[in-house]
Structure 1
Amino acid sequence: MPTLALDAPALERLVSAAVAAPSIHNSQPWRFRLQPETSTVEVRADRSRAVPAADPQGQALHISVGAAVLNLRIAARHLGWAPEVRLLPDPADPELFAAVRLDTPAAAPVPGAERLYEAIWRRHSSRAPFTGAPVPPAVLDELAGAARSEDALLHLPDHEETARLLHLTAEAERRNTTDQAQRTESRSWIRTGEAPPYGIPVDALGPQDALGNLPMRDFSAIHPAEHRAPAHFEDEPRIAVLATEHDTPADWLRAGLALEHVLLAATVHGVRASLLHQAMEWPYLRWEARDPHHGPGHVQMLIRLGYGPEGAPTPRLAPGEVLERP
């Protein structure tokens, strides 16, 4: 087996995959640092791109960075390593969210890893209406398995529970559009014209549901000229609930890994997804999102799944903009 080199081209490919991960408001709140003496890539939080009004505890920040860690791990396997991932490895360095050690070649390919790697570049959130065609049970089972492999749970609520979760999401969206801090912050992440390569471009914004049943985030305070005409969304949305047993920062990171693993597995099967995070931004509503039938777990994200148009790509920071050289 040839010796693997963690050289500049390999590092750029790893970071390129990592920054393709989803993040709240496409804030991309991460930085990467190579420790060459240990062949370790550090994944660090960049709080200059945090969203404190929507995410005062940093739950979404950790989920975003966790998703980037998952992509980096998949890219490392694609390049031939057996990556060792440690979450929050240094209590004295709270901005260091993960360390990915790359000093061991893989003994054998991981089944399905190549398909997930290819999906990294095709995964985009779709804020458009879906057709309403059901996602096959076998695919949903695979997505639940993807979450379990990252120490998280993916619940598939029934019709009544889905309606309750959408009601909570609608209430959270109402609060987001009436709370001044939330409105101002979310509006600041809309990008028009020449803008930094993060945030949400106007042309990536989706319409609102004409019937008001599916509360898609409208980023509030958007200028009327930037609104899309309302559209008819699917009558029976398929919502999946991503949860963890506990609710520590390490659990938030695991939720990020699980979220991206689920999204990539969905992409492999041609399933589109969008994220409903609004209720997670209000502590009482997030607590209410728990389903007692599934035990005392903590909801981390609601994921809308279905079939429809591919989502519009959003801009990404270049590897050189987020990579700290030793």
Structure 2
Amino acid sequence: MSARPLDAKTVAALVSDATAAPSMHNAQPWKFRYFRAVGTFHVRVDMERTMPHSDPTTRALHIGCGAALFNLRVAAAHAGWEPATRLLPDPADSELLATVELAGPVRPETDLAPLYPAIRRRHTSRYPFSDEDIPQAIQDALCGAALREGARLLFSDAWHVESLLDLVHDAEGRDSLDPGQFQDVVRWTRIGADIAATSADGIPDYAFGPRKQDGKAPVRDFAGRRAVPGREVAIFEKKPHLALLGTTGDRAEDWLTAGQAMERILLEATLDGLATSLTSHALEWPELRWAVRHPQSAMGYVQMVLRLGYGKQGPVTPRRPVEDVLDIEP
């Protein structure tokens, strides 16, 4: 039995929570529709926010939308509703990524609601982390979080971390030789106090983090050669903690699965006191992506590289107004 229709204020609050999710370059490539008659949300993709150079297959776009979908599920459970979810429910409508039906009171076994406090606390951190080890119990819990969403998480050992860092450096070199690659970065970064203060999307310069003076952490420098007044420099960790998030397949459904698993991991990590960031640089080059995978792992396809550790949380970044991403239907 479907839940009773929600009022517009409640619908907007749920979607606002959903849009707190991370997305590539904070492009926020999602749209939502709520159908009052059946108590169901549609999660759709906003194809005007694609990145033809960095994400030509829209893999990263789907991952971001999957993260927003997961936040919607968490917010619904927190509000007392059981979020019955279907991925890609209409083969004839590729822009409809998922439906979330509020199918009645949340079930006791649903474990989403406890993650709700982390939705607004989680922010991508491009600051240095300490070299302190992450306890094995926390690593195991985060791996379990991925499994609950149908994905796998693998913490890289020391030699594989070095391999990943080499691939990131390779990607940076390739970017420098291909001006088109930087076009997406330019489109989605906001430099200057006036622009950063008024933008509703993209990465503002205050979220770039300090310029890396030393250290091995794979933190993308979104400024490139552009000047950012007042930007600090810092020494980053020498032993970054990196983890691979992957799926058995590599289609749209797998990307949505990876996005949901990624957000569950990030929320649980936030509650565990970890700072988090995402590293997709080497995954943006098809000829490098295959090499990111750990050769001794059964993981089929790497969808994201996560950097986790103890350090400063990232700042709040802008979000599009809910009215720009939400339609409410009868």
Which bin holds the TM-score, normalised by the shorter protein?
A: over 0.9
**Letter of the structure 2 residue corresponding to residue 93 of structure 1:** D
State which of 240, 244, 254 in structure 2 corresponds to 1:241: 244
1:214 and 2:217 correspond: yes
Q: Distance in 2 between matches of 1:248 and 1:292?
A: 21
Unaligned runs of 5+ in 1: none
Query: Does structure 1 retain, via aligned residues, the 8 Å contact 2:82–2:106?
Result: yes
Picking from 239, 250, 253, the partner of 2:253 is: 250
Closer, same or farther in 2 for the Cα pair 1:296/1:264, shift >3 Å?
closer
Per the TM alignment, residue 103 of structure 1 is displaced from its structure 2 partner at its CA by: 2.8
1:122 and 2:125 correspond: no
Displacement of 1:230: 3.3
Q: Does 1:60 align with 2:60?
A: yes
Q: Normalization by structure 2: what TM-score?
A: 0.93
Contact 1:153 1:244 in 2 (8 A): yes
| Residues 1:281 and 1:227: Cα distance change in structure 2 (over 3 Å) | farther
Amino acid at match of 1:276: T
Change (3 A) 1:325 1:266: same
- Which amino acid is the alignment partner of residue 283 of structure 2? M
What does residue 327 of structure 2 align with?
324
User: 1:178: how far off?
Assistant: 3.2
TM-score of the two chains, using structure 1 as the length reference: 0.95
1:282 aligns with 285
- Which amino acid in the other structure matches residue 288 of structure 1? A
Distance 1:246 1:296 in 2: 9
Question: CA 1:287/1:220 → structure 2, altered by over 3 Å: closer, same or farther?
Answer: farther
Match of 1:267 among 245, 258, 270: 270
Alignment partner of 1:60: what SS?
A: helix
Number of positions where the alignment pairs a residue of Structure 1 with one of Structure 2: 323
Classify the secondary structure of the residue corresponding to 2:74: helix
Quote the offset at 1:108 in angstroms.
Answer: 2.5
- Which of 305, 315, 318 is equivalent to 2:318? 315
Label 1:184 to 1:95 Cα distance change in 2 as closer, same or farther (>3 A): same
* 1:318 shift after superposition: 1.7
Verify: 1:75 aligned to 2:75, yes or no. yes
Q: Distance in 2 between matches of 1:227 and 1:141?
A: 40
Cα drift, residue 4 of structure 1: 5.0
Name the counterpart of 1:51. 51
> Equivalent residue for 1:93?
93
Q: After superposition, what is the alpha-carbon deviation per residue over 1:216-261, rounded to whole angstroms, capped at 9, x for unaligned?
A: 1112544124583432111111001001011111000000000000
Moved over 4 A (4+): none
Q: Distance in 1 between matches of 2:320 and 2:225?
A: 24
Task: Tell me which moved more, 166-175 or 92-101.
Answer: 166-175
CA contact (8 A) 1:202 1:226 kept: no
Q: Does the alignment pair 1:232 with 2:235?
A: yes
Paired amino acid for 2:143:
A
Task: For 2:52 and 2:230, locate their aligned partners in 1 and report how far apart those are by CA, in whole Å.
Answer: 25
Richer in strand (by share): 2
Q: 1:226 to 1:173 in 2, by over 3 A?
A: farther
Partner SS, residue 325 of structure 1:
strand
Question: How far apart in 1 are the matches of 2:18 and 2:64?
Answer: 10
Report percent identity of matched pairs: 45
